[in-house]
Amino acid sequence: MTIEIAVVLGLALVAIVLFATEKLRIDAIALLVLGTLAILGLVTPEQAVGGFSNPATVTVAAMFVLAAGLQNSGALSGIGDLLGKARSPLQFLVLLFLVLAVIAPFVNNTAVVAVFIPIVMAASARISMSASKALIPLSYVSQMAGVCTLVGTSTNLLVNAIARDMGHPGFTMFEFTKLGVICMAVGCIYLLTVGRWLLPAARGGELVEQYELGKYITELRVMPDSSLIGQSVGDAKLGEQYGVFVLELLRGDIKVWGPREQKIEQDDVLLARGDWTKLDELRKEAGLEVDPQFKLEQRSFEQVDQVLTEVMIAPRSRISGRTLGSLRAGWHRNATVLGIHRRGQVLREQLRAVRLQVGDILLMLTPASEAADLRADSNIIVLSEREAEKEMGWRAPFSLVTMALVIVVPALGWVPISVTSLLGAVAMTLAGCLKADDVYDAIDWRIIILMAGLLPLGLAMSETGAAQFLVENTVGLVESFGPLTVLAVVYLMALVLTEFMSNAAAAVLLAPIGMSTAKMMGVDPTPFLIAVTFAASTSFATPVGYQTNTMVYGAGGYRFADFLKVGLPLNLIFWVLGVMLIPVFWPFNPV
């Protein structure tokens, strides 16, 4: 082992640990890896920044813009009506899967799930179907469909870019389609049969009726005319009468000891927990008011043009980790945050000091004129069942035609996908499908930085011989059993690694290993690259293995074990199908 190999492998190990423990943001980890490689001279300066100009990085950024254009133009607004025509849970799921099979192969699956969550929750409620029976399937099928084309997920493009950098000819637009369609069909059958039985039924924490997703924590200030003044919290019996529980009593900036026994005074703030309808009933009847310090801007709760909306902090949100107090200056200043719901936890801090986490639910009062801006904010996912009112003007068909051209032209080999996707993004922006200022918000910059920062790591693993060393001391141990066994091991390695770290990071680490494995065995590398692509793009067993899983985890009120119970058998099914079919479609020794 050379010093360069040891350093690259050590850096890769540190990156894996950081990705798995989530001590740092994924983009920060990627930049640390990139900087270290450049400083140590393991890649040239040109190679270090080459990831930012890589066609895969450019394509993924453009595809985010195209997905936002489709959504904002109203091109997808008829989906809710279509799903609403279902008359049974089985019919609903079949319709959902068919729609996803058409859309998800061509639109980034993270964007697809963000659009579909409120649609699915509203449509499932109309047929009295538990949303928890539909949201995990939504995430899983979007992943299955996304792996059917080169542009369906950023991981496909990433593996393609690494393969090209290492001398492989790369993949065509529909290279993955034959295997992807078979896997998706089998996966959908599983979800419609065994999976439906394994999925959890309705829980109190899920959104079945509008604005009742869970128990919210809010701050209620005692007004001068409040009937609670002079009573203790215990004497007021708020739990018995309203189902509202006072967690803390705040007097100024001090938490009063023994809140149940303390006499309530004017201007005290009650940190209370309960269903919002009960909290609002208490507020009206007891002379309380939502604490002004908790509002992003002073507004009257009774204002008639306000829309009550539930929003979830999205997995790629830039406001994750920030406090509500720090958001007041510039984030939806005309909105009023009424309460916060965090599954599995009871908050006991003043809400302006609570650091937001992915999956937190905010109950917001928003001017009706600004509701569209809230839905367009990529930092959040609107969970309210109020349907977005989209005008189906000429921009809707224009965005669909543009998206079709972006896919068809490179499929015919006329122009690279990186060029058509950029032109398509520009066309949608000029046509007004989304505002020019919204283009930057539409792009998930953490994914872009992650891809650009990690591409040089894959290059370093190949050029220093680290990938070859790793292959010889891992999959090389089963080389004597033949390429099929080695393929099964490589697929399984990618499958396990993806469940505990970023799928893009897993792809970057394992794509060079796939290339080196083929070189060691003297066979074509394509089967091993396909295995890495499929395993890294379909993560079912944990809510943290893939962004779409994380998104539905909070919205559906799931437990970690629900993903393990439903997703692990599906992972094993995909593993078996992949090992059986990959050599059929991509032989180890093509003629």
What would the pLDDT profile of 554-579 be if each residue is shown by its tens digit?
A: 667 688 788 889 999 999 999 999 99
At 401, list the tokens.
């035609």
Determine the pLDDT at residue 419.
93
Domain segments of the chain: what residues? 3-204+402-585, 216-382
Determine the pLDDT at residue 300.
42
Question: Which residue would you say has higher pLDDT here, 116 or 348?
Answer: 116
Determine the pLDDT at residue 303.
43
Question: Which residue would you say has higher pLDDT here, 79 or 161?
Answer: 161
Cα–Cα distance measured from residue 141 to residue 113, given in angstroms and rounded to the nearest whole number? 10
Q: How confident is the model at residue 210 (pLDDT cuts 50, 70, 90)?
A: very low
Over range 199-208, report the average pLDDT: 51
Lookup result for tokens 């049969």? 193
What percent of the chain is modeled with pLDDT above 70? 85
**Amino acid at residue number 102:** V
Please enumerate in sequence order all residues whose Cβ is within 8 A of that of 48, keeping only pairs 6 or more positions apart, or say none. Answer: 34, 37, 38, 456
Q: What are phi and psi of 231, to 5 degrees?
A: -95, 155
Question: Which residue would you say has higher pLDDT here, 449 or 206?
Answer: 449
- Comparing 53-57, 98-102, 583-587, the range with the smallest average pLDDT is 53-57
Nearest to 159 by CA among 546, 580, 543, 509: 509
Please check the confidence at residue 583 and state whether its pLDDT lies above 90.
Answer: yes
Please check the confidence at residue 338 and state whether its pLDDT lies above 50.
Answer: yes
Lookup result for tokens 């890896």? 33
Please enumerate in sequence order all residues whose Cβ is within 8 A of that of 228, keeping only pairs 6 or more positions apart, or say none. Answer: 222, 236, 264, 286, 287, 288
The CA distances from residue 381 to 17, 112, 257, 296, 551, in Å, are 29, 12, 38, 19, 9
Please check the confidence at residue 206 and state whether its pLDDT lies above 60.
Answer: no
The CA distances from residue 27 to 23, 284, 302, 324, 445, in Å, are 12, 46, 42, 23, 8
Please check the confidence at residue 207 and state whether its pLDDT lies above 50.
Answer: no
Lookup result for tokens 């990705």? 19
Over range 542-552, report the average pLDDT: 77
Cα–Cα distance measured from residue 30 to residue 577, given in angstroms and rounded to the nearest whole number? 32
Please check the confidence at residue 204 and state whether its pLDDT lies above 50.
Answer: no
Please check the confidence at residue 46 and state whether its pLDDT lies above 80.
Answer: yes
Cα–Cα distance measured from residue 262 to residue 264, given in angstroms and rounded to the nearest whole number? 6
Print the SS3 string covering 410-451: HHCCCCCHHHHHHHHHHHHHHCCCCCHHHHHHHCCHHHHHHH
Helix (H) or strand (E) holding 322: none
Please check the confidence at residue 100 and state whether its pLDDT lies above 90.
Answer: yes
Please check the confidence at residue 379 and state whether its pLDDT lies above 90.
Answer: no
Lookup result for tokens 């922006």? 429
Determine the pLDDT at residue 495.
87
Please check the confidence at residue 337 and state whether its pLDDT lies above 80.
Answer: no
Determine the pLDDT at residue 22.
67
Query: Are the CB atoms for 299 and 306 separated by under 8 Å?
Result: yes
Please check the confidence at residue 123 and state whether its pLDDT lies above 70.
Answer: yes
Please check the confidence at residue 50 and state whether its pLDDT lies above 70.
Answer: yes
Determine the pLDDT at residue 301.
44
Q: How confident is the model at residue 348 (pLDDT cuts 50, 70, 90)?
A: low
- Comparing 18-27, 183-192, 372-381, the range with the smallest average pLDDT is 372-381
Question: Which residue would you say has higher pLDDT here, 293 or 216?
Answer: 216
Question: Which residue would you say has higher pLDDT here, 227 or 438?
Answer: 227
Query: pLDDT tens across 476-535, in order?
Result: 778 888 899 999 999 998 888 887 767 777 888 888 888 888 888 899 999 999 999 999
Query: pLDDT tens across 128-172, in order?
Result: 787 788 999 999 999 999 999 988 888 888 898 888 888 899 899
Question: Which residue would you say has higher pLDDT here, 44 or 72?
Answer: 44
Q: How confident is the model at residue 76 (pLDDT cuts 50, 70, 90)?
A: confident
Determine the pLDDT at residue 211.
33
Q: How confident is the model at residue 120 (pLDDT cuts 50, 70, 90)?
A: confident
Cα–Cα distance measured from residue 428 to residue 421, given in angstroms and rounded to the nearest whole number? 11
Question: Which residue would you say has higher pLDDT here, 475 or 292?
Answer: 475
Over range 404-429, report the average pLDDT: 90
Print the SS3 string covering 464-479: CCHHHHHHHCCHHHHH
Helix (H) or strand (E) holding 259: none
**pLDDT, averaged across the chain:** 80
- Rg, the chain, Cα only: 26
Please check the confidence at residue 214 and state whether its pLDDT lies above 60.
Answer: no
Which phi-psi region, left, alpha or beta, contains residue 26 (left: φ > 0; alpha: ψ -120 to 50)?
Answer: alpha
Determine the pLDDT at residue 137.
94
CATH 3.90.1010.10 fits 216-382, yes or no: no
Please name every residue paired with 245 in a beta bridge, in sequence order, or none if there are none.
Answer: 273
Please check the confidence at residue 59 and state whether its pLDDT lies above 50.
Answer: yes
At 46, list the tokens.
């040109």
Determine the pLDDT at residue 381.
74
Question: Which residue would you say has higher pLDDT here, 148 or 396?
Answer: 148
Determine the pLDDT at residue 345.
63
Question: Which residue would you say has higher pLDDT here, 110 or 510?
Answer: 510
Q: How confident is the model at residue 213 (pLDDT cuts 50, 70, 90)?
A: very low
Lookup result for tokens 């390695």? 493
Please check the confidence at residue 177 and state whether its pLDDT lies above 50.
Answer: yes
Q: How confident is the model at residue 423 (pLDDT cuts 50, 70, 90)?
A: very high
What percent of the chain is modeled with pLDDT above 90? 21
